[in-house]
Amino acid sequence: MDAGRSLRYCRRRAGLTQRELAIRAGVAQPAIARIESGRVIPRVDTLTKLLSACEFEFELRSAPGLDRTAIRELLRLRSRQRLELAAAEANNLARLVPA
């Protein structure tokens, strides 16, 4: 999801300027401009507040069909094992990328 593009779309659909949205949401107008331009990725609570001020809802959902098997396997490793795996992966990457 592109937060800036989504915010701009919702703000325009609500018929608001950045300044009007800033007043409604209690967020500085330059911050809204930075978010909409993509220079800043907002925190979830900030984006929720801004979209709510546009009378839109923000719902956070996990991606459908996301396979978390690899994540679970990594989390089962001990710290030392994760460190060794990361070092091995870094060595593999170093071989692919010329110095």
Residue 40 shares a structural domain with residue 10: yes
How does DSSP assign 56-95, residue by residue? ------PPTT---HHHHHHHHS-HHHHHHHHHHHHHHHHH
Specify the CATH number for the domain of residue 16. 1.10.260.40
The confidence band for 98, taking pLDDT boundaries of 50, 70 and 90, is: confident
Q: Which domain holds residue 23?
A: 3-53
Q: Which residues, including other chains, have CB under 8 Å from residue 22's CB and lie 6 or more apart? A: 28, 29, 31, 32
The predicted model gives 53-59 an average pLDDT of 92
* Mean pLDDT across the chain: 91
Q: Indicate whether 60 belongs to any domain.
A: no
Count of domains in the chain?
2
67 Ramachandran zone, left/alpha/beta (phi>0; psi -120 to 50): beta
Q: What is the enclosing helix (H) or strand (E) of 25?
A: helix 18-25
Residue 43 shares a structural domain with residue 80: no
